[in-house]
């Protein structure tokens, strides 16, 4: 069958790479794609948010399955429009995707269906939000309610930092309409883990765990980013925690969404904190995470097309997931200045070298005069697998060190928590 992947980042490159391994994938298109994706799929110059043009293309090309990568087209109702047109599409409906599109809705669902999470309150009024912060004290967490490309969270270590974040968000300066409401949460101590799961609205199939590195600099310093690297599995995530996550978090979330008239089909991403008081949900996302997907899909041995079709058709209960025992590590190569202002257009060298057990997923690249150039903040996701996390880290950094463009940088400590646990 013909497959269309919507998006053009590192997550979408990983999806195209995995989908292309299926014997069911006759031809793959990606809209808009990037320079790396172009090696595996035909890139179509349609923005991911242009739902109507994507629908026209899918109809004209008789696309058998559309796979949505980013959150924006999901929030814009792409799944509803494709489904109404009789086309198979993998992802949640507009109503279901609001579990990511509104932090306040997600917290309400968690509260109503007894899903463990941090204490919180939501505000549209600045004075009320400031009063709440002064009452609660710091550290405290301030979140923009709407979509903010993974950057709408401020972990404020002082009251002033929290007050500044509220002022910035509610004024519309930081995230526009996404910050028109803020959610303020208690600060949780512990170790984060990301768990993605397939859902067909009833059955939930969790994937292997991963851990993302949000802060821009080594040692988790500096501002939050969309993610500077990830590894899988996360050693903190034991079999016991996996059982708890399925029965206390993922299944109740999917069942709760169904009860609310928001049937959830696609990938549900749970951002978890393993605290001394047990498991707590930090957030839900309505799609594959980036860069967790790069590490997780490298370990998937099942046919991704078959799984996605089972999700769309509501027969996920017929499927099992097979995983490699290997660990996988993704190291992001980013442009100088990211997550703030950065340059574009620098030629990238070293992409023609092959490294063992390693795939260089392109996140922000394009072709200019037949040369691959940087075209984003996060530019590459260098992903390797090995028998241990330490081996995967070594392979990934060997490839990172062979790649260069002006101003590029990467964190040098991806996977450090896993190494510390192994050392113990």
Instruction: Give residue 222's pLDDT.
Output: 92
CATH code of the domain covering residue 348? 3.90.600.10
Domain boundary among 278, 295, 318: 318
Q: Does 105 map to a domain?
A: no
Q: Rounded distance, CA 232 to CA 254, Å?
A: 24
Q: Same domain, yes or no, for 196 and 308?
A: yes
Q: Does 102 map to a domain?
A: no
Instruction: Give residue 173's pLDDT.
Output: 62
If phi > 0 it is left, if psi is from -120 to 50 it is alpha, else beta; for residue 287 that is beta
Q: Same domain, yes or no, for 87 and 150?
A: no
Number of residues assigned to the chain? 424
Instruction: Give residue 52's pLDDT.
Output: 98
Q: Does 173 map to a domain?
A: yes
Q: Same domain, yes or no, for 402 and 352?
A: yes
Instruction: Give the other-Cβ count within 10 Å of 176's Cβ.
Output: 12
Extended beta strands in 114-214, E state? 120-123, 140-144, 153-156, 182-186, 191-200, 204-206, 211-212
Domain boundary among 135, 166, 186: 186
- CA 27-33-37 angle, to 5 degrees, is 65
Instruction: Give residue 17's pLDDT.
Output: 98
Instruction: Give residue 396's pLDDT.
Output: 98
Secondary structure of the chain in HEC code, one letter for each residue: CEEEEEECCHHHHHHHHHHCCCCCCCEEEEEECCCCHHHCCEECCCCCCCHHHHHHHHHHHCCCEEEECCHHHHHCCHHHHHHHCCCCEECCCHHHHHHHHCHHHHHHHHHHCCCCECCEEEECCHHHHHHHHHHHCCCEEEEECCCCCCCCEEEECCHHHHHHHHHHHHCCCCCHHHHCCEEEEECCCCEEEEEEEEEECCCEEECCCEEECCEEEHHHEEEECCCCEEEECCCCCCHHHHHHHHHHHHHHHHHHHHHCCCCCEEEEEEEEEEECCEEEEEEEECCCCCCHHHHHHHHECCCHHHHHHHHHHCCHHHCCCCECCCEEEEEEEECCCCCCCCCCCCECECCCCCCCCEEEEECCEEEECCEEEECCCEEEEEEEEECCHHHHHHHHHHHHCCCECCCCECCCCCCHHHHHHHHC
Mean pLDDT by 10 residues, the chain (424 residues): 98 98 98 98 98 98 98 96 98 97 90 94 89 92 76 85 89 66 91 97 98 95 92 96 98 98 98 94 95 98 98 98 98 97 97 96 96 97 98 98 98 95 81
Instruction: Report yes or no: 260 and 165 within 8 Å, Cβ to Cβ.
Output: no
Instruction: Give residue 124's pLDDT.
Output: 87
Q: Does 113 map to a domain?
A: no
CATH code of the domain covering residue 65? 3.40.50.20
Q: Same domain, yes or no, for 169 and 224?
A: no
Q: Same domain, yes or no, for 373 and 412?
A: yes
For 329, the token pair is 């590590």
DSSP, collapsed to helix, strand or coil, labels residue 75 as helix
Q: Same domain, yes or no, for 207 and 287?
A: yes
Instruction: Give residue 422's pLDDT.
Output: 80
Q: Does 101 map to a domain?
A: no
Instruction: Give residue 288's pLDDT.
Output: 97
How much is the pTM? 0.93
Q: Same domain, yes or no, for 174 and 196?
A: no
Number of separate domains in the chain: 4
Q: Does 99 map to a domain?
A: no
Domain boundary among 186, 208, 242: 186
Strand partners, 6: 31, 68
Instruction: Give residue 72's pLDDT.
Output: 94
Domain that holds residue 308: 191-318
Instruction: Give residue 274's pLDDT.
Output: 96
Instruction: Report yes or no: 23 and 82 within 8 Å, Cβ to Cβ.
Output: no
Q: Does 100 map to a domain?
A: no
Q: Does 293 map to a domain?
A: yes
Instruction: Report yes or no: 106 and 282 within 8 Å, Cβ to Cβ.
Output: no
Q: Same domain, yes or no, for 222 and 282?
A: yes
Q: Same domain, yes or no, for 225 and 177?
A: no
Q: Same domain, yes or no, for 246 and 274?
A: yes
Instruction: Give residue 85's pLDDT.
Output: 98
Q: Same domain, yes or no, for 244 and 309?
A: yes
CATH code of the domain covering residue 140? 3.30.1490.20
Q: Same domain, yes or no, for 211 and 308?
A: yes
Instruction: Give residue 303's pLDDT.
Output: 98
CATH code of the domain covering residue 258? 3.30.470.20
Q: Rounded distance, CA 347 to CA 368, Å?
A: 9
């Amino acid at each position: 069958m013909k497959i269309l992947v919507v998006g053009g980042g590192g997550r979408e490159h990983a999806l195209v790479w995995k989908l292309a391994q299926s014997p069911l994938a006759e031809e793959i298109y990606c809209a808009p794609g990037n320079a790396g994706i172009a090696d595996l799929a035909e890139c179509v110059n349609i923005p991911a948010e242009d739902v109507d043009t994507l629908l026209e293309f899918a109809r004209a090309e008789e696309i058998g399955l559309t796979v949505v990568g980013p959150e924006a087209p999901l929030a814009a109702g792409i799944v509803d429009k494709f489904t109404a047109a009789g086309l198979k599409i993998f992802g949640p409906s507009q109503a279901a995707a609001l579990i990511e599109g509104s932090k306040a809705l997600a917290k309400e669902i968690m509260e109503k269906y007894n899903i463990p999470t941090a204490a919180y309150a939501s505000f549209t009024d600045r004075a009320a939000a400031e009063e709440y912060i002064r009452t609660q004290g710091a550290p405290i967490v301030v979140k923009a309610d709407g979509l903010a490309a993974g950057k709408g969270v401020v972990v404020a270590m002082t009251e002033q930092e929290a007050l500044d974040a509220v002022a910035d968000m509610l004024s519309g300066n930081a995230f526009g309409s996404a910050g028109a409401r803020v959610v303020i949460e208690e600060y949780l101590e512990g170790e984060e883990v990301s768990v993605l799961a397939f859902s067909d609205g009833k059955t939930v199939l969790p994937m292997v765990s991963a851990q993302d590195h949000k802060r821009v600099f080594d040692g988790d310093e500096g501002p939050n980013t969309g993610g500077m690297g990830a590894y899988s599995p996360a050693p903190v995530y034991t079999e016991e925690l996996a059982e708890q996550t399925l029965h206390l978090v993922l299944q109740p979330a999917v069942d709760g969404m169904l009860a609310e008239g928001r049937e959830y089909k696609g990938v549900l991403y749970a951002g978890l904190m393993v605290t001394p008081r047990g498991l707590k949900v930090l957030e839900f996302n309505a799609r594959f995470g980036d860069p967790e997907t790069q590490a997780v899909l490298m370990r998937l041995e099942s046919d991704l097309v078959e799984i996605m079709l089972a999700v769309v058709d509501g027969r996920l209960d017929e499927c099992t997931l097979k995983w490699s025992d290997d660990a996988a590590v993704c190291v992001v190569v980013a442009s100088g200045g990211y997550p703030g202002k950065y340059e574009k257009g620098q030629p990238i060298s070293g992409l023609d070298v092959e490294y063992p057990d390693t795939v260089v997923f392109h996140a922000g690249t394009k072709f200019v005069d037949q040369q691959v150039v940087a075209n984003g903040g996060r530019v590459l996701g260098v992903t390797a697998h090995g028998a241990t996390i330490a081996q995967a880290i070594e392979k990934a950094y060997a490839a990172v060190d062979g790649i260069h463009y002006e101003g590029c940088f990467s964190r040098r400590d991806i996977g450090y928590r896993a190494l510390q646990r192994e050392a113990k």
